[in-house]
Structure 1
């Protein structure tokens, strides 16, 4: 039986302009309010046989608030950003503009002293490939948007630079189905009504 892994993006704890590399800050009131607004639509995912989350405070809090009681998975942690950890992208650019440019231009580069983008994608993909198919067909994982982007690049076997072209919004869901080495992206949206005539 193919696995169905639904990723739920953690609620945002801050405004987009204040996002930081490897941000360990908890949900703020705005994040809690967002979770409460969408809880009704995301609550059915709690029926999944296996429920996981990233180790970040936002992911854990989002999963708990949705009633998932998720198990923390270290493999679903954010990309190791080395000395840029805790900085905003603007702060990293102000301190090391050439290094940030090199990092954005070459996915294999690690000017921050941390993890390369391909290594991050491979780590998250390795987690995806090792999900136990015999424990059930449905899995939910609450993770930071960056982790979900990495999972999608891996599942689609896309080039690493595709990572920069994927936008994952807070509290959005993304589903992949399949098994190790063969994953498909699944869209579960409501079909649009096409007028007849």
Structure 2
């Protein structure tokens, strides 16, 4: 058997506020309400052998609200956006359009003075590869959607550009299974049983 890791995307904040790079806002009332609406579905994940979260306030609060009592993992932090931290993509584009274009086009670029997309994907993948590898160990990790996107690119050995094509909504879950260097995507949930003729 393999190690099973289920990622839970942190609850979002109010949709009125634009998403910001390395957003440190805590959960607002809309986020708390969203967690409460889906808690019955996500609560069974609290039985995981190991429970982690990113250091972001939304991730920590989501994990606590779901009863996971998660351990903070610095490797699950959002991408270091350097001087763009706290800006929306539109604000960064208005200030430095050429730099944003370069960052979006080249996964090795760091025009913001922070971490490259390639480095971010490697960091999150390195965290996965260093999880305890006991057979059938179950892990839950609450993280920002960008962290989950980076993990999926790593697991699927997809080109870094695939990062921009993955949409991870608040409180969504996705599973991966395997061990260091040998991961696969694991779609979880109820599956229909075929009927026999």
Partner Cα distance (2:190, 2:138) in 1: 20
SS in 2 for 1:8: strand
Shift of 1:76: 0.3
Aligned to 2:162: 162
Q: CA RMSD in A?
A: 1.7
Structure 2 residue ranges without an equivalent (≥5): none
Aligned to 2:64: 64
Aligned to 2:45: 45
Shift of 1:56: 0.3
SS in 2 for 1:151: helix
Alignment check: 8 A CA contact 1:54 1:74 kept? yes
Instruction: Label 1:72 to 1:135 Cα distance change in 2 as closer, same or farther (>3 A).
Output: farther
Aligned to 2:93: 93
Alignment check: 8 A CA contact 1:63 1:69 kept? yes
Residues 1-52 of structure 1 show CA distances to partners (whole Å, capped at 9, x for unaligned) of 3100000000001327611000001000000000000000000000000000
Q: Which runs of 4+ in 1 moved over 4 A?
A: 192-197
Partner Cα distance (2:135, 2:85) in 1: 36
Instruction: Label 1:77 to 1:16 Cα distance change in 2 as closer, same or farther (>3 A).
Output: farther
Aligned to 1:181: 181
Instruction: Label 1:141 to 1:16 Cα distance change in 2 as closer, same or farther (>3 A).
Output: farther
Partner Cα distance (1:193, 1:140) in 2: 27
Alignment check: 8 A CA contact 1:48 1:140 kept? yes
Shift of 1:134: 3.1
Give the TM-score normalised by the residue count of structure 2.
Answer: 0.95
Shift of 1:100: 0.7
- Following superposition of structure 1 onto structure 2, how do residues 47-196 of structure 1 map, counting pairs within 5 Å? 47-134=47-134, 137-192=137-192
Alignment check: 8 A CA contact 2:2 2:136 kept? no
Instruction: Label 1:18 to 1:49 Cα distance change in 2 as closer, same or farther (>3 A).
Output: same
Residues 82-105 of structure 1 show CA distances to partners (whole Å, capped at 9, x for unaligned) of 000000111101111111111111
After TM superposition, the structure 1 stretch with the greater mean CA deviation from structure 2, 11-20 or 103-112, is 11-20
Shift of 1:193: 7.4
Structure 1 residue ranges without an equivalent (≥5): none
SS in 2 for 1:178: strand
Partner Cα distance (2:69, 2:24) in 1: 19
